[in-house]
């Protein structure tokens, strides 16, 4: 079993999730495809880098991401930075022939995503975009049922990603509200997760009709580097700056296979926390998922007797996708960490076995083309066709 050395860039919330995943992956999935070794962590803030090495268990740290690119012992680059530096780091890593795991959204624009995809392709590396929610066992079970034809031909669907951490006008202006750092707001940050999930389950998006809005026009500037995700308040006296991205986006989707659906995303929906849901209706049944009850998949099949018709709950466990590695009894509890552990397992497996990773940079690029069409449609108030991947 090979050891694979990792260099991780960005020492915040995502670095924590990915580091736990590297440690936990062989504990769940044994024999592991490879043993991840936490070699070096980088953050522009020296204290964050130093403390990150200690608490996340990296052998060394640096404040310069080039130290990871230039280190020949590092085989995997893990990008957990704000979105504006994903492309520069990923293209340098690809040219250095390192495999890449990159946080979502892949890029600021479709053009950037295309450059990242092509750099990865030219250098024959494995890539993965961290759309971790599709790895929830209940979502994988939905995919299995769809592929088996259990709900027949998909007719329509609806998806949501609703949170409330930025609903308070005094929650701080972090990089997630500044276009030059994040590219887009709720759309890129959370909408792309549900786009990835529904593209995975239903099929390729063909055209979109969207509406976006920015309800809170300015926010108190965040103090300190770490993104507090609304957990601190700037206070009335803190200087305020304009928000130049969407707070909310809502769009209709036409898929290439004829399925039709709606998706909405906002971080301002009081009372909603990580409310990622989908409901999919087919000619032979329906599926419903809510991440806040992520052990469960609700199913209704047309073959159920008339006197039994209705949604029933399947609790995921050993009989379901990834069940052989996870917990031995259904409903012991799948968490955010487990989705990241499965992500790490699939990524290292694709490297070890030299197979296609998914979702790869190609998928991340496809999602950016969808985001581009959504933002265009929100301006023109018309249907916009999603651009084609350029190989």
Residues 51-110 that bind ligand SOE (CB under 6 A): none
Query: Least CB distance from residue 174 to ligand SOE, whole Å?
Result: 10
Nearer to ligand SOE, 86 or 209 (CB): 86
Query: Least CB distance from residue 192 to ligand SOE, whole Å?
Result: 8
Residues 319-348 that bind ligand SOE (CB under 6 A): none
Query: Least CB distance from residue 28 to ligand SOE, whole Å?
Result: 20
Query: Least CB distance from residue 229 to ligand SOE, whole Å?
Result: 6
| Chosen residue from 107, 128, 142, 190 binding ligand SOE by CB under 6 A | 190
Nearer to ligand SOE, 62 or 222 (CB): 222
User: Crossing angle of helices 86-95/110-122, nearest 10°?
Assistant: 10
Count of residues interacting with ligand SOE (CB under 6 A):
5
Nearer to ligand SOE, 62 or 268 (CB): 268
Query: Least CB distance from residue 131 to ligand SOE, whole Å?
Result: 9
Nearer to ligand SOE, 34 or 190 (CB): 190
Nearer to ligand SOE, 123 or 274 (CB): 274
Nearer to ligand SOE, 43 or 71 (CB): 43
Query: Least CB distance from residue 189 to ligand SOE, whole Å?
Result: 5
Query: Least CB distance from residue 163 to ligand SOE, whole Å?
Result: 6
Three-state SS annotation for the chain: CCEEEEEEECCCHHHHHHHHHHHHHHHHCCCCCCEEEEEEEECCCHHHHHHHHHHHCCCEEECCCHHHHCCCCCCEEEECCCHHHHHHHHHHHHHCCCEEEECCCCCCCHHHHHHHHHHHHHCCCCEEECCHHHHCHHHHHHHHHHHHCCCCCEEEEEEEEECCCCCCCCCCECHHHCHHHHCCCHHHHHHHHHHHHHHHHCCCEEEEEEEEECCCCEEEECCCCCCCCCCCCCCCCCCEEECCCCCEEEEEEEECCCCEEEEEEECCCCCCCCEEEEEEEECCEEEEEEHHHCCEEEEEECCCCHHHCCCEEEECCCCCCCCCCCCCCCCCCCCHHHHHHHHHHHHHHHHHHCCCCCCCHHHHHHHHHHHHHHHHHHHHCCCEECCCCCC
Nearer to ligand SOE, 189 or 338 (CB): 189
Residues 195-254 that bind ligand SOE (CB under 6 A): 229
Query: Least CB distance from residue 226 to ligand SOE, whole Å?
Result: 12
Whether the link from the prior residue into 31 is cis, omega within 30° of 0, is: yes
Neighbour tally for 321: CB within 10 Å: 18
Using rule CB under 6 A, residue 163 touches ligand SOE: yes
Nearer to ligand SOE, 67 or 164 (CB): 164
What mask of x and - would describe binding to ligand SOE in positions 266 to 285, judged by CB under 6 A?
-x------------------
Comparing every residue's Cβ against ligand SOE, the nearest one is 189
Name the site residues for ligand SOE (rule: CB under 6 A). Answer: 163, 189-190, 229, 267
């Amino acid at each position: 079993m090979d050891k694979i050395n990792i260099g991780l860039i960005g020492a915040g919330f995502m670095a924590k999730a990915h580091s736990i995943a590297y440690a936990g992956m062989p504990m769940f999935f044994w024999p592991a495809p490879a043993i991840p070794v936490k070699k070096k962590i980088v953050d522009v803030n020296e204290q964050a880098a130093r403390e990150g090495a200690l608490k996340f268990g990296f052998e060394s740290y640096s404040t310069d991401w080039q130290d990871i690119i230039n280190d020949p012992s590092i085989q995997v680059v893990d990008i957990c930075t704000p979105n504006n530096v994903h492309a520069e780091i990923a293209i340098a890593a690809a040219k250095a022939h390192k495999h890449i795991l990159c946080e979502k959204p892949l890029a600021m624009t479709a053009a950037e995503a295309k450059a990242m995809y092509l750099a990865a392709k030219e250098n024959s590396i494995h890539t993965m975009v961290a759309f971790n929610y599709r790895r929830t066992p209940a979502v994988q079970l939905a995919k299995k049922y769809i592929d088996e034809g259990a709900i027949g031909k998909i007719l329509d669907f609806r998806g949501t990603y609703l949170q409330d951490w930025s609903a308070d006008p005094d929650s701080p202006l972090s990089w997630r509200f500044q276009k030059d750092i994040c590219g887009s707001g709720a759309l890129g940050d959370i909408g792309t997760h549900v786009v990835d999930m529904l593209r995975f389950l239903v099929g390729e998006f063909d055209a979109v009709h969207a509406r976006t809005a920015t309800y809170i026009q300015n926010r108190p500037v965040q103090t300190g580097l770490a993104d507090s995700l609304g957990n601190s308040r700037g206070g009335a006296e803190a200087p305020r700056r304009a928000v130049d991205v969407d707070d909310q986006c809502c769009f209709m989707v036409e898929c290439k296979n004829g399925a039709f659906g709606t998706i909405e995303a906002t971080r301002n929906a009081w009372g909603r926390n990580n409310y990622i849901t989908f409901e999919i209706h087919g000619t032979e049944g329906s599926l419903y998922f809510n991440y806040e009850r992520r052990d469960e998949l609700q199913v209704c099949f047309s073959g159920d007797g008339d006197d039994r018709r209705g949604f029933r709950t399947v609790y995921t466990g050993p009989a379901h996708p990834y069940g052989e590695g996870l917990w031995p009894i259904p409903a012991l509890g799948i968490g955010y960490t487990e989705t990241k552990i499965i992500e790490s397992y699939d990524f290292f497996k694709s490297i070890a076995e030299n197979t296609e990773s998914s979702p790869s940079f190609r998928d991340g690029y496809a999602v950016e083309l969808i985001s581009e069409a959504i933002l265009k449609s929100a301006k023109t108030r018309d249907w916009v066709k999603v651009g084609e991947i350029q190989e």
